[in-house]
Structure 1
């Protein structure tokens, strides 16, 4: 999709992270509807809901007559999205697969704002902070980690798929990096075999020390009390708040490195 030649006036977001990016790009006052879980910034909570995890309200979206629809290529139903495109709606997709792409998307959305200045500044700030974090941690010792996305079934993520890029900045080494599936279902026994030094989960995954206690004495992460809950909105949504996720993950990995040095 090429950049807009005129500012958008009626914008609908069909992904929480695209809602957040729209505000960052200066489109907040143009948003008229969004998907469930669009909860940041607080202003997004006032928007009408036209989509959720079960699908999108196609008829309502058409009735609202948006001149710009923001969507997630791998997260929104392809059949309904194809229908919206066939009806002539301007749809911009998020395809963020790398950390720098967050800034690129903000700038892209900024082309639809009354002025691109806010988006340009937000992208500049993000790139500068990302560069600082990358430089700080690029030579750190590797730490073997397991990221638990969900508990039942237990799902993780292979390298090359969001949000492994966050862990890589911090020197994390994914124990399921080479899995053929992008988001493989795994067992606790498979985790034990790979001996992670640290385990990450989110509140949605119910990841805490308790569910791993049966493996006391068999997993370094459990033995050293390196099982942490991270903010899922920061980590799983490719937005400027990803920087907060990087800082959070890097701090936790540093605790492992400190423990290593203390025992050497």
Structure 2
């Protein structure tokens, strides 16, 4: 056997073993306070380090089996501490007080903002990648999102060369609440080149009446439903506007879309984008590019 390559080969093995040991020695015990955070941790290969999640976490499948630390906005400090976390990750809008209390107890915490835009989602991925030694995985996930969104945008343009239909996304039924100008859903529509019929309304998720919906008069209406959420059906929504001049209702382009991806800003943006793009089809069937 040629010794000239044996020693470099052994050195590479030792280096690889040392790197694996080093990463294992710093194994994290992560508590996630929000579904979006759990899904982001999964996207960068860290689901195995998550030891507890919120009651609303159900993706990926492994999250359903993990212990729960309370509701989305009411996590239990005692429960969190019982899992001896090395890191607790929450969202800035909802978990500031919880993270502050934990930090005061000496627990390492991380606050992310990711509910308003895809830029925030990407930034959250970068922060987690940097803090948890998963920078390459985070960069890879971001590149995939950008590439596939652009591919889907091109397909929409090709399918609608004259004018891309406008869309009104309804996220709640009583009172009627829509995706306005500054939110995650609007940002997805923008990236896809789909006009948001409610873009002129400056609020994130404004409540609207029937007259406002009639004035917006979108080409397509999407009834966005979480897995456990809005109960209105296509038929009951159409009943609200029976006999009224609403273009989407008249053309039969009122579409039910059921997926938590529309409500969990994070790496499942591609699933949400495909569903919104699919709503442009007259049949309203989701389309996978």
Shorter-normalised TM range:
0.7 to 0.9
Counterpart residue number, 1:237: 264
**Is 2:88 the counterpart of 1:86?**
no
**Is 2:228 the counterpart of 1:201?**
no
Counterpart residue number, 2:63: 44
Residue 113 (structure 1) shift: 4.1
Pairs within 5 Å for 1:86-235:
86-96=104-114, 97-113=116-132, 116-137=135-156, 141-203=163-225, 204-205=229-230, 206-217=232-243, 218-235=245-262
Change over 3 Å in CA distance of 1:124–1:195 after alignment to 2: closer
* Structure 1 unmatched ranges of 5 or more: 257-264
Higher strand share: 1
State which drifts further: 128-137 or 30-39.
Answer: 128-137
Q: Which has the larger radius of gyration?
A: 2
Cα separation, 1, equivalents of 2:213 and 2:26: 50
8 Å contact from structure 2 (residues 150, 191) kept in 1? no
Change over 3 Å in CA distance of 1:38–1:194 after alignment to 2: same
Aligned length: 251
* Structure 2 unmatched ranges of 5 or more: 1-22, 284-289
The alignment yields a C-alpha RMSD, in angstroms, of 2.6
- Higher relative CO (Cα under 8 Å, sequence separation at least 6) belongs to 1
Partner SS for 1:192? helix
State which drifts further: 196-205 or 101-110.
Answer: 101-110
TM-score (norm 1): 0.83
Residue 116 (structure 1) shift: 4.1
TM-score (norm 2): 0.77
Cα separation, 1, equivalents of 2:120 and 2:28: 25
State which drifts further: 53-62 or 126-135.
Answer: 126-135
Change over 3 Å in CA distance of 1:83–1:222 after alignment to 2: same
1:187-218: CA deviations, max 9, x gaps?
12221122121111133222413322342341
Cα separation, 2, equivalents of 1:135 and 1:94: 31
8 Å contact from structure 2 (residues 34, 72) kept in 1? no
